[in-house]
Amino acid sequence: MADTTDLTRSIVRVMAQTAIDNEEYFGELDSIVGDGDLGFSLARGFEVVAQELNTTEDEDPGAFLRRVAILITSRTGGTSGPIWGTAFLRAATVASAAARIDRPTVIAMLRAAIEGIKARGKADLGDKTLLDALQPGVDELERQFTRDASDVEAIRATARVMAQQAEATATLQARRGRASYAGPRSIGSPDPGAIVVAYMMRAVSESWK
Partner 1 sequence: MKRFMNEPADFVRDMLEGVALANPDTLEYVPEFNLIRRKAGPSDGRVSLIQGSGSGHEPAHAMLVGPGMLDGACPGDVFAAPPLEYVLGATRSLRTPAGVVYIVNNYTGDRMVFEMASEVVRAEGIDVRTVLVDDDVAVKDSTYTVGRRGIAGNFFVIKAMGAAAAAGAPIDEVVRIGEAVNAATRSMGMALTSCSPPAKGAPLFALGESEVELGVGIHGEPGRQRTTLSSADQTVEVLLGAILAEHDVNRGDEVAVMVNGLGATPINELYILYGSAHKQLRERGIQVRRNYVGDYCTSLDMAGVSITVVKLTDEIERLLSEPAQIPIRVF
Ligand X SMILES: Nc1ncnc2c1ncn2[C@@H]1O[C@H](COP(=O)(O)OP(=O)(O)O)[C@@H](O)[C@H]1O
Report the interface residues with partner 1, using CB under 8 A.
27-28, 31, 33, 35-37, 39-41, 44-45, 73-83, 85, 120-121, 175-178, 180-183, 185
Sign of CA dihedral 174, 179, 185, 190: negative
Which CB sits closer to Mg ion, 35 or 153? 35
The binder of 193, among partner 1, ligand X, Mg ion, none, by C-beta within 5 to 8 A per type, is ligand X
Q: How far is the CB of 167 from ligand X (least distance, A)?
A: 14
Check binding of 142 to Mg ion (CB under 5 A). Answer: no
Which CB sits closer to partner 1, 19 or 141? 19
DSSP 68-110: HHHHHHHH--TTHHHHHHHHHHHHHHHHHHSSS--HHHHHHHH
Which CB sits closer to ligand X, 38 or 89? 38
Sign of CA dihedral 24, 205, 104, 101: negative
Check binding of 198 to ligand X (CB under 6 A). Answer: no
* Closest among 19, 16, 11 to 38, alpha carbons compared: 19
* Closest among 178, 194, 196 to 186, alpha carbons compared: 178
Check binding of 38 to Mg ion (CB under 5 A). Answer: yes
Per-residue binder mask for ligand X (CB under 6 A), 133-172, x = binder: ----------------------------------------
The binder of 31, among Mg ion, ligand X, partner 1, none, by C-beta within 5 to 8 A per type, is partner 1
Q: Which of 53, 117, 157, 203 binds ligand X (CB under 6 A)?
A: 117
Check binding of 78 to Mg ion (CB under 5 A). Answer: yes
Q: Which stretches does DSSP call E strand in 129-170? A: none
Question: Are residues 75 and 52 in contact, defined by beta-carbon separation less than 8 angstroms?
Answer: no
DSSP 24-73: HHHHHHHHHHS-S-HHHHHHHHHHHHHHHHHHPPP--HHHHHHHHHHHHH
Q: Which stretch binds Mg ion (CB under 5 A): 22-30, 54-62, 104-112, 124-132?
A: 22-30
The binder of 95, among partner 1, ligand X, Mg ion, none, by C-beta within 5 to 8 A per type, is none
Helix (H, G, I), strand (E, B) or coil at 124: coil
Q: Which positions lie near Mg ion, rule CB under 5 A?
A: 30, 34-35, 37-38, 78
